[in-house]
Amino acid sequence: MTEQTDVLIVGGSMVGLAQSLFLAQQGIRPVLVERHAHISAHPRAQAASPRTMELIRALGLERKVRAQENPHAQYGDILQVESLTGAELGRFDGPFRHDPNEVSTTGWTLIGQDRFEPVLRAKAEELGADIRFGTELVSYEQDADGVTAVLRDLRHDTETTVRAAYLVAADGFRSPIREGLGIGTHGQGVFGRQMNVIFHAALDEYVAGREFFLCFVSNDKVKGVLGRLDDADRWVLAPSLPPEETHTEYSEEDCVEMVRAAVGVPDLDVAVETSSSWEIAARVADRFRSGRVLLAGDAAHVMPPTGGFGGNMGVQDAHNLAWKLALVLRGQAGPELLDTYEEERVPVAEFTVEQGVIRYLQRSGLDEEVAARHRPETTVLFGHVYRSGAVLSEPGADDGAPVEDPTQPSGRPGTRAPHVELRSGGTDTPLHDLLTGGWRLLAGPDGALWERAAGGVSRLTGLDLVCHRVGGEEPAEVVEEFLKKYGITASGAALVRPDGFLAWRTAEQPADPAVELSAVVHRLLSRTV
C-alpha cells in the first residue's frame, strides 16, 4: 500500500524540522524522514538570529526557546588566548549581543542546534507533522503530478512507498538529492574543515573568573574554539583541520591531546563523548528547484560559520517556502507561485554567503575592495529585497540591490514589513507577532473601505486575509510612524504576505478598493479569474 502526503521532507535537522513546523502551522501535515535515530548531540549552529526569533515569537515558542539558551550566553564575550591557562590575547564583545531593537522586538538567542531542534520537533508534531527518525530515503522518482519515494525504516528494516505532491530536500551540504538532480553550485568553494569534539572535563579552576561565551585558542598544537555546553563539565572544542582531513582520522587519544593543548594542562583528565567534522565553504546551488523537488538550507547554500547566518538562512528558506506550498496545495494559488521561491531566495543566499565569507576572511585581513562590501548585521538579517511574481514592484523604485538599510525602511514591495506596534483590544502588539500564517492588509486611518474590501477578497478566495486600520486604536504618533515607514497616505494601504514581506502598496485609496485588491491578489497568486 502506498502512503499519501502533501509534502515529503528529507532531512531532520534544524531546517527540515523548521520546514515541517511551518507547514504544519499552515495546516499541511508533512512527512519528514531522517536517517539518524536521534537529534544530533553536536551544537553546530550556536545561535538563533533575531529574524529567526521573530518567526519563533509568532508561533508562541519564544519563551520555550530562550529557556533552552546556553547557560553561559549571559556572558556574551569572546576571549582570545594561547590556551585556557596561558596568555590572554584579547577580549571583545560577541557578535550576538547587538540586538536590532530599532527594527525588531527580538534579539539573538544563544542556543545550539542540539537544544533548539527538540523544541521545533515537539511543536511540529503537536501541530500534526509526521516525523520519522531512523528512516532513510532509498530512492524516488518524480513525474508531472508528484513524487513517489521508497523509505526504509532502519530499526525494523522495512520499506514503505510514499506518494507526495512535493519533496523538500533538507539533506545537508553534501545533498545526495541535489547531486542526483545534476544541480551544480557556484561560489568560492572550500576554505577548510572544522572538527567538533564534545568532551567532559573539570575546567572551572582554569576559567578562574574569566567568564566567556566562546574562547578562541591558538598555539602550536591546536587552533580552534572552546565553549561550555551546560552548567556541568560538558564542553566542546572545535579545532580547525586541513581541508583534506576529517574527524575519522583522529583517534580518541588524539582528541584528548587537542583538548589538553587547548586548556594548557598536559595531564588533564578528559573523557571524549563524540566527535564530528564539517566543511567551511562558500557555495550556492545554481537552482533551488527541479520540478517537484525544492532545496532548502545547506542543500541550497553553504557559508562560513562567522556571523551565525547559515542555519538561520535555512530556517527562513523554510518559512518562505511553507506558505507558498500551502496555497498551491489548497488550490488557492497557481503552481507558478512556487517559482518565486527560487527567484527570491537565490539572490539573498548569494548576498548572505558573501557576507559570511567577508567576516571569515577578516581574521586574516581584507583588501579595501572586499572590505567595502561589508554590510551591518542588521542589514544582513532584515534588509532583504525580493523581486519575483509574488511581489508587485513599483516602476522606477528599484536600484537592483539585494538589500536595503532596514533602519531607514522604504516600505516598498519586496522588503520586510517595517516594525510597528499595533493596538488591538487595548493591547500593543508588534506587527510580526500577528503574522501567524495569514495575510495582513494595513490601511491608513482614512481607509475604512479597505476593511470591507479585505473581507470580500477573503470570502472570494478563501485566503486568511485580515485588514487592520492603523489609527482605529493607535495613538497619533504611531499612525504618523506607520505612514512614514510604509510610504502611504492616510487613505492608502499595504499588503503583507504570510512571511512578513510586503507584496504591494498603494499610496492612496483608489476609486474602488475592492476591485483593486481583488486584482492584486489574483496577480500575486497566479490565480485564474
154-173 pLDDT, tens per residue?
999 999 999 999 999 999 99
Q: Which helix (H) or strand (E) holds 307?
A: none
| Apex 281 CA angle, 178 and 250, nearest 5 | 100
Let me know the angle formed at the C-alpha of 57 by 69 and 340, rounded to the nearest 5 degrees.
115
Burial of residue 300 (number of CB atoms within 10 Å: 0-12, 13-18, 19+): buried
* 3-state secondary structure at position 130: strand
| Mean pLDDT, the chain, integer | 92
Write b or e for each residue in 229-262: b if 16 or more Cβ atoms lie within 10 A of its Cβ, otherwise e.
Answer: beeeeebbbbbebeeeebbeebeeeebbbbbbbb
Dihedral over Cα of 393, 394, 400, 401: its sign: negative
Checking if the pLDDT of 220 tops 80, the result is yes
pTM for the predicted model, two decimal places:
0.93
Supply angle C-alpha 316, 319, 322, rounded to 5. 150
pLDDT at 350 over 60: yes
**Rg of the Cα trace of the chain?**
24
Which amino acid type is present at position 250?
A: Y
In single-letter form, the type of residue at position 336 comes to E
CATH architecture of 2-68+106-182+286-362: 3-Layer(bba) Sandwich (3.50)
Is 417-524 a CATH 3.40.30.120 domain? yes
DSSP string, 164-188: EEEEEE--TTT-HHHHHTT--EEEE
**Measured distance CA(15)–CA(9) in Å, rounded:** 10
How far is it, in rounded angstroms, from Cα 99 to Cα 106? 7
The 8-class DSSP code of residue 394 comes to P
Helix H or strand E segment including 230: none
More confident residue, 50 or 97: 50
> 92 phi and psi, to 5 degrees?
-150, 165
Cell 476591485 sits on residue: 515
The residue type of 331 is G
Write down the domain spans for the chain: 2-68+106-182+286-362, 417-524
Give the span between the Cα atoms of 415 and 418, in whole angstroms: 8
The count of other CB atoms within 10 Å of the CB of residue 196 is 21
How far from chain centre, in Å, is Cα 490? 35
Q: What pLDDT shows up at residue 364?
A: 59
State pLDDT tens for residues 467-521: 999 998 999 999 999 999 999 999 999 999 999 999 999 999 999 999 999 999 9
DSSP-assigned letters across all residues of 391-420: S-PPTT-----SB--TTS----TTBBPPP-
User: Following CA atoms 414, 284, 107, 240 in sequence, which dihedral angle do they give, to the nearest 10 degrees?
Assistant: -170
- Structure letter (DSSP) for residue 384: B
Phi-psi region of 427 (alpha: psi -120 to 50; beta: other; left: phi over 0): beta
pLDDT in tens, 426-442: 899 999 999 999 999 99
What are the tens digits of pLDDT across the range 409-466?
999 999 999 999 999 878 999 999 999 999 999 999 999 999 999 999 999 999 999 9
Paired with 214 in beta bridges are: 78
